[in-house]
């Protein structure tokens, strides 16, 4: 896999709020009955985090789980761990109706980090990002400017954003521009 | 499809996933295409194992690959999908392996001309929202046996079922010139608005460097029944150009070049 490169090859736009591409991340799109214990368990085992509630994402480094829809969860792991993950899912859900497929190369992951990261995102997405409404662990599939994207907060100053690989440069530039434009102060205490 | 699954057939046990972006796909095209892939090695891409219109999973030069033996150029051609993260590396490897065969990137204009020489339709050129398969002489692809399929009811409507339609043909100007893009084939008389009546329109028109003349495809009233007829297409300067109605396949009608 030495040939594999991420869309933006870990590009960074440093500033008060820093935008960076995280590099390759393993992602498995899993569709099935999310209420099923076997499904929840294999996901939690693979990602090392709790199975998320509706509208939530939990992550730790490259590993994590994101609730995508009532019948879809995104399993995140190391890029090279996807094949093993798919095998574990197939084994755990054998005989049950589900779909699991590798989408690692279809996506880019961006990180937005800094004390007004919340505003950098709020300027671009039609989402209520008030600190009382959108908190660490909350997850939204929405838009950033002109493209589909999803994001969640890993801590009070950090967002992780996923988008399609082919629009990674656009999403990065958009976030970097929003960061450079600076603080709005709308969410200031 | 997701809409149909959720709203029409919600009781089906079917999941789909959009994996378009998971892959980078490269077309390797030309008489030496197979030699380049064989140089990379890893899977059998011979005529017998991977014949025209088949596909196979395997590896090429160490890359996980899905190889489709399809051709939009009319030449021996493979389209190869690899994980998007390795798309650039695979492309570079192909250019490297192909160097001894004078490999080069070719753009969409070249592709468009080559497909037009072969009479291959382009969605959005030969078709728009009003064009149905029958207009493109594809009635063979519509099942007469199935009780139902998506769109069947539409095909039964009187205007759709009528043979009295503009249909796909090839067009060859008598003077070898290129018919202007968007030209209409004029007919006798005028309509209720005083505009010249029409009997067809050009859908693709190019200079063919292979045939050294203008070639075109168009939709012409009852076109396939009028092979050899000469009709006039309007030009911007107010004059017209005469074109003969011909088969839309201008080059390699037997498909010999892609079937090697």
Looking at the complex, report in whole angstroms how far the Cα of residue B155 sits from the nearest Cα belonging to chain A: 34
Residue-wise pLDDT tens digits, A38-72: 999 999 999 999 999 999 999 999 999 999 999 99
Contact B13 A97 (CB under 8 A): yes
The DSSP line for A19-77 is EEE----EEEEEES-TT-HHHHHHHHHHHSSPPPPTTBEEEETTEEEEEEETTEEEEEE
pTM of the model: 0.90
Q: According to the model, what pLDDT value does residue B80 have?
A: 98
Number of domains in chain A: 1
Residues on chain B touching A1 (C-beta within 8 angstroms): 86
A145: exposed, middle or buried (Cβ count in 10 Å: 0-12, 13-18, 19+) = middle
**Could you tell me the two tokens for B98?**
């192909």
pLDDT-based confidence at residue A189 (cuts at 50, 70, 90): low
Which residue, B230, B238, B171, is CA-closest to B201? Answer: B171
Residue-wise pLDDT tens digits, A127-145: 999 999 999 999 999 999 9
**Could you tell me the two tokens for A130?**
């008030």
Report yes or no: A71 and A80 within 8 Å, Cβ to Cβ: no
Q: How far apart are CA A165 and CA B35, in angstroms?
A: 32
Residue-wise pLDDT tens digits, B135-185: 999 999 999 899 999 889 999 999 999 999 999 999 999 999 999 999 999
Q: Which of B15, B22, B90 sits opposite A99 (nearest CB)?
A: B15
Judge whether A185 lies within some domain.
no
* C-alpha separations of B250 from A171, B212, B246 in Å: 45, 12, 9
- B87-98 vs B33-40: helix axis angle to the nearest 10? 110
Q: How far apart are CA B12 and CA B1, in angstroms?
A: 12
Q: How far apart are CA A52 and CA A66, in angstroms?
A: 7
Judge whether A189 lies within some domain.
no
Mutate to test the interface with B, among A8, A105, A164 (most CBs of B within 10 A): A105
Q: Above pLDDT 70, what percent of chain B?
A: 100
Q: How far apart are CA B26 and CA B28, in angstroms?
A: 6
Task: Inform me whether the pLDDT recorded for A91 exceeds 90.
Answer: yes
Judge whether A61 lies within some domain.
yes
Contact B84 A164 (CB under 8 A): no
Looking at the complex, report in whole angstroms how far the Cα of residue A67 sits from the nearest Cα belonging to chain B: 15
Q: According to the model, what pLDDT value does residue B260 have?
A: 87
Task: Inform me whether the pLDDT recorded for A2 exceeds 80.
Answer: no
Q: According to the model, what pLDDT value does residue A187 have?
A: 86
Q: At A146, which CATH number? A: 3.30.1360.120
Residues on chain B touching A24 (C-beta within 8 angstroms): 85
B82: nearest CA in chain A?
Answer: A105
**Could you tell me the two tokens for A2?**
């030495």
Q: Which of A1, A6, A101 sits opposite B17 (nearest CB)?
A: A101
More confident site: B2 or A99:
A99
Task: Inform me whether the pLDDT recorded for B246 exceeds 90.
Answer: yes
β-bridge mates for residue B234, sequence order: B240
Q: Is A187's Cβ below 8 Å from some Cβ in B?
A: no
What is the predicted ipTM? 0.92
Cα dihedral B191, B195, B196, B197, rounded to 10, equals -40
DSSP annotation of B75? S
Give the domain range for residue A104: 12-180
Listed by number, the residues of chain B in 73-112 with a beta carbon closer than 8 Å to a beta carbon of chain A are 83-86, 88-90
Report yes or no: A175 and A161 within 8 Å, Cβ to Cβ: yes
What mean pLDDT comes out for the span B5-14?
93
The kind and range of the H/E element at B45 are: none
All structural domains of chain B: 2-106 (3.30.1360.120), 118-246 (3.30.1360.120)
Contact A3 B23 (CB under 8 A): no
Judge whether A45 lies within some domain.
yes
Residue-wise pLDDT tens digits, B27-79: 999 999 999 999 999 999 999 999 999 999 999 999 999 999 999 999 999 99
Q: How far apart are CA B225 and CA A21, in angstroms?
A: 60
What mean pLDDT comes out for the span A28-47?
97
Q: How far apart are CA A133 and CA A75, in angstroms?
A: 25
DSSP annotation of B174? T
β-bridge mates for residue A66, sequence order: A57, A74
The kind and range of the H/E element at B50 are: none
Task: Inform me whether the pLDDT recorded for A20 exceeds 80.
Answer: yes
Task: Inform me whether the pLDDT recorded for A1 exceeds 70.
Answer: no
């Amino acid at each position: 896999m030495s040939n594999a490169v991420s869309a933006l090859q870990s590009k960074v736009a440093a500033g008060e709020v820093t935008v960076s591409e995280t590099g390759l991340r393993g992602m498995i799109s899993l569709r099935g009955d999310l209420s099923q214990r076997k499904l929840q368990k294999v996901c939690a085992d693979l990602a090392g985090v709790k199975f998320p509630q509706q509208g939530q994402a939990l992550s730790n480094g490259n590993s994590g789980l994101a609730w995508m829809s009532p019948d879809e969860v995104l399993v995140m792991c190391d890029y090279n761990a996807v094949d093993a993950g798919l095998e574990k899912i197939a084994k755990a859900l054998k005989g049950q109706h589900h779909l699991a497929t590798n989408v690692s190369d279809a996506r880019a992951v961006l990180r937005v980090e800094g004390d007004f990261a919340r505003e950098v995102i709020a300027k671009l997405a039609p989402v209520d990002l008030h600190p009382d409404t959108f908190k660490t662990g909350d997850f939204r599939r929405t838009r950033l400017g002109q493209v589909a994207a999803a994001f969640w907060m890993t801590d009070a100053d950090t967002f992780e954003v996923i988008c399609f690989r082919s629009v990674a440069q656009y999403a990065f530039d958009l976030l970097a521009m929003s960061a450079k434009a600076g603080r709005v102060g709308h969410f200031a205490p | 499809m997701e809409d149909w699954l959720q709203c029409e057939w919600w009781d089906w046990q079917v999941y789909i996933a959009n994996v378009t972006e998971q892959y980078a796909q490269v077309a390797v095209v030309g008489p030496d295409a197979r030699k380049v892939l064989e140089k990379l090695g890893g899977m059998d891409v011979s005529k017998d194992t991977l014949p025209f219109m088949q596909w196979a999973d395997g590896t090429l030069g160490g890359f996980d690959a899905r190889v489709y033996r399809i051709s939009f150029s009319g030449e021996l051609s493979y389209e190869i999908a690899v994980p998007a993260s390795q798309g650039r590396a695979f492309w570079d490897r192909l250019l490297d392996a192909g160097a001894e065969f004078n490999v080069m990137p070719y753009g969409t204009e070249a592709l468009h001309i080559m497909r037009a020489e072969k009479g291959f339709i382009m969605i959005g050129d030969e078709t728009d929202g009003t064009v149905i398969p029958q207009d493109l002489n594809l009635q063979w692809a519509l099942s007469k046996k199935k009780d139902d399929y998506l769109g069947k009811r539409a095909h039964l409507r009187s205007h759709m079922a009528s043979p009295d339609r503009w249909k796909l043909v090839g067009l060859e100007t008598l003077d070898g010139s290129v018919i202007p893009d968007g030209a209409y084939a004029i007919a006798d008389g005028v309509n209720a608005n005083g505009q010249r009546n029409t009997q067809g329109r050009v859908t693709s028109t190019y200079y063919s460097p292979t045939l050294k003349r203008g070639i075109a495809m168009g939709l012409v009233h009852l076109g396939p029944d009028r092979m050899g007829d000469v009709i006039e297409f309007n030009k911007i300067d107010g004059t017209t150009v005469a074109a003969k109605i011909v088969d839309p396949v201008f080059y390699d009608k037997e498909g010999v070049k892609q079937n090697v």
